[in-house]
Amino acid sequence: MTLFDTLLYTHIVGGVISLLLGFIILCLKKGNKKHKLVGSIYFYALLTASGFAIPMSYLHPNYFLFIVSVFTIYMLLTGKRYLNKKTISDVTKTDWLLTILMAIFGTAFIGFGILHIIKSNFFGIVFIVFGSISYLFVYQDKNNFTGQSKLKNYFLVTHLQRFIGSYIASTTAFLVVNNKVLPSVIAWLLPTILLVPLIIKWSRKYKVEK
């Protein structure tokens, strides 16, 4: 068995587990012990799948896989870290580093998108959409870290948004890799179209304004 095969099988196992558990989490009551347990397993399963995808994208060059993996890892790490923050004094250099890295990658997403469109490949729209989403999360981090958030419980709402965001990235990767029917642009954007309304719904439900 080659190194790539080992990475691939581990990636698949972690991905399948996270896809199943992510759906279960969407259906569970939020905040109870079952939610926390399933959420923790989901976190490590998807982090494993995404982490192993990065060397895979190097061994068998695949920019798409690399970009989705980076996006997913950012969502997972920041989503989990937000649970330990109640005030801006809890913000660390690690939090700022993750945000800066996401800003850099978001710029790369948009750059790839513009480059594709210039070459008359309108699939670049997908990259621009994900790059724009990256900027929105970076802007949100900046407001949260500097006390400019309009919410008292920004840590809870942001955690919810980031974990659903990671599931969007995960299901997007699954669809793109296994899709045989849908147009590629639809496969890339369908999870976003279906799950962003849940982010909006639950953000409104759980938010506590200052």
Percent of the chain with pLDDT over 70: 100
151 φ, ψ (degrees, to nearest 5): -110, 145
Mean pLDDT of 154-160: 91
d(CA 71, CA 49): 13
Give pTM, 2 decimals.
0.87
The whole-number pLDDT of residue 140 equals 94
> Which pLDDT belongs to residue 49?
95
Contact 136, 162 (CB under 8 A): no
Q: Supply the mean pLDDT for the chain.
A: 90
Best CA proximity match to 46, nearest among 85, 16, 81, 26: 16
**Is residue 206 scored above 80 in pLDDT?**
yes
Q: Is the pLDDT of residue 65 over 90?
A: no
pLDDT in tens, 168-198: 988 988 888 888 888 888 887 889 899 999 8
Q: What is the per-residue pLDDT across 77-132, written as a single tens digit (0 to 9) for each?
A: 999 999 888 888 899 999 999 999 999 989 988 998 999 899 888 878 878 888 89
Lowest mean pLDDT, pick from 16-20, 40-44, 59-63, 114-118: 59-63
Q: Check residue 71 and give its pLDDT.
A: 86
Instruction: Say whether pLDDT at 7 is over 80.
Output: yes
Residue 24 CA to residue 26 CA, distance in Å, equals: 5
- Mean pLDDT to the nearest integer, 58-68: 83
- Give CA 83 to chain center in angstroms: 16
What is the percent of the chain with per-residue pLDDT over 90, rounded to a whole number? 50
Q: Which two tokens stand for residue 206?
A: 């759980």
Find out whether 82 and 76 touch, Cβ atoms under 8 Å: no
> Which carries the bigger pLDDT value, residue 63 or residue 208?
208
CA distance 185 to 123: 6
